[in-house]
Structure 1
Amino acid sequence: MSSRQEILEKIQQLRLDQTELPTIPEFKNPINTEEEFKASIEANKGEVISQEKLMSWISESGFQKILNFSQLINLNTTYARIDDAHELDQLQVAIIDGQFGVGENGAIWITNEQVPFRAIPFITEHLVIVLPKNEIVPTMHQAYIKTSSQSYSFGLFIAGPSKTADIEQSLVIGAHGAKSLRVVLV
């Protein structure tokens, strides 16, 4: 008998005691999940704005390349549509929908249903996420329950603009993704 076979047989003969998973207590939900969500977004260096403020910001900024993938708001403007990910070059503003947000940390769940190209939330200079107010859950525990029933090929939580820091803790915004995050609650 080979040593490999001996090892495999010994592993199969092991009888380990089963350990029960710990029960997760039910956490108190905040009184106002929407307000907690807004505070979390702002703490993450993002901004919660109205649809009117979004329109004003876009028109005043003079952006040349804006992609709108949102199904939740009508911006009354025609923006570029793309069919090839290479056309994302120099993307200034991407507007996408979020499936749901998390009050305790400001994270917003995005899947391939909201973005046709995975690179969009990372390659754009400014990211705008449109989120229904009634789709904010209090905690990540509830968020993970919502994601577990979904089928998707790509999913992520976004909780603010890209942030990184060096060993001296010098914070840099936008080094690895969007320089800003604006959330429009509808």
Structure 2
Amino acid sequence: MKPSTSSRRGVLDRLNSQSVDVPPLPDPDASKLIQFDDPFERFKESLALVGGEVHEIEHPSQATSILNRIEAFSSAQRVASVLPAAVKSTVDLAMVDDPHSLASLDWMVASGEFMIAENGAIWVDGSTLPHRVLIFIAQFLAIVVPRDAIVHNMHEAYDRIGAPKPGFGVFVSGPSKTADIEQSLVLGAHGCRKLQVFVTS
């Protein structure tokens, strides 16, 4: 017999009312954190290692011409973009009520807040996405991020994000990949099949 919603809620409420003493988080020694002579070059190397591609552009509008050289983009039917200055949407995100309708999305063009040189990741603030699933459900993903928005390591990344706040955000690095099934590498199993990063000067 399944527990009722009220009994489940009662258990959760009791758990939430209990205070748990936890040790304080350690204060990292800033002098021992990894630093790079050229963090942007390191970012490009890190992203390439995980299968992403970096394109240096002067203005977001140049992104479309570069993407048009990629057959998967030039033949795409459903493109969503939160940056019309870079790529125009063929999907009206304002009219999407049910995220399930985005299941056939070919491309998503997102805005990145900053890059992390250490691992080639980009922080995407969920407040820029009409639906959080956009970043995961599209077959291909492009992110536009300013060149001067970069940190050396994850410690600096979390400092830049600051105190946790309601909402959603995600670090994105390279295409989705897994080798859990028969140790065979599969791209796009849990997200995009390819990541294109456009870095604006």
Per the shorter chain, which TM-score range? 0.7 to 0.9
% of aligned pairs identical? 35
In structure 1, the residue corresponding to 2:47 is in which secondary structure?
A: helix
49-58 or 81-90, which deviates more: 49-58
1:29 aligns with 35
Q: 1:125 and 1:23 mapped to 2: Cα distance? A: 38
**Residue in structure 2 matching 1:41, options 35, 41, 47:** 47
Is 2:150 aligned against 1:145?
A: no
Residues 113, 60 of structure 1: CA spacing in aligned structure 2 closer, same or farther, 3 A cutoff? closer
Distance 1:89 1:168, change over 3 A: closer
| Equivalent in the alignment of 2:3 | none
Q: 1:97 aligns with which of 111, 123, 126?
A: 111
Q: What's the CA shift string for 1:137-182, capped at 9, x where partnerless?
A: 1111110101124634001101111111126532111111111111
TM-score, L = length of structure 2? 0.74
Shift of 1:98: 0.5
When residues 79 and 53 of structure 1 are mapped into structure 2, their CA distance, relative to the original with a 3 A threshold, is same
TM-score normalized with structure 1 length = 0.79
Q: Quick one: structure 1 residues 28 and 89, their matched pair in 2 at CA, closer, same or farther if it must change by over 3 Å? A: closer
Tell whether the 8 Å contact from 1:112 to 1:152 is kept in structure 2 after alignment: no
In structure 2, stretches of 5+ residues that fail to align are 1-20, 57-62
Pairwise CA RMSD of aligned residues?
A: 2.5
Between the two proteins, the alignment pairs up a number of residues equal to 168
Q: Give, as a single letter, the amino acid of the residue that structure 1 aligns with 2:83.
A: S
Q: What does the per-residue CA deviation read over 1:95-147, in whole Å, with 9 as the maximum and x for residues that have no partner?
A: 00011110010111112222111111111000101111010111111101011
**Structure 2 residue matching 1:134: 3-state secondary structure:** coil
The 3-state SS of whatever aligns with 1:122 is helix
Which consecutive aligned stretches of 4+ in structure 1 deviate over 4 angstroms post-superposition?
none
Which residues of structure 1 form unaligned runs of 5+?
1-15
Does the C-alpha gap of structure 1 residues 22 and 179 become closer, same or farther in structure 2, counting only changes over 3 Å? same
Distance 1:46 1:148, change over 3 A: same
Contact 1:29 1:139 in 2 (8 A): yes
- Report the Cα distance in structure 2 between the residues aligned to 1:90 and 1:103, rounded to whole angstroms: 32
Tell me which residue corresponds to 2:168. Answer: 154
- Following the alignment from structure 1 to structure 2, what is the Cα–Cα distance between the partners of residues 181 and 118? 17
Structure 1 78/162 Cα, relative in aligned 2: closer, same or farther at 3 Å? closer
Higher deviation after alignment, 167-176 or 53-62:
53-62
After superposition, the Cα gap between the structure-2 partners of 1:21 and 1:81, relative to the gap in structure 1 and judged at 3 Å, is: same
Larger-Rg structure? 1
Tell me the distance in 2 between the aligned counterparts of 1:96 and 1:130: 6
Paired AA for residue 66 in structure 1: V
SS at match of 2:35: coil
CA contact (8 A) 2:114 2:146 kept: yes
Distance in 1 (alpha carbons) for counterparts of 2:145 and 2:25: 38
1:79 is paired with a residue of what secondary structure?
coil
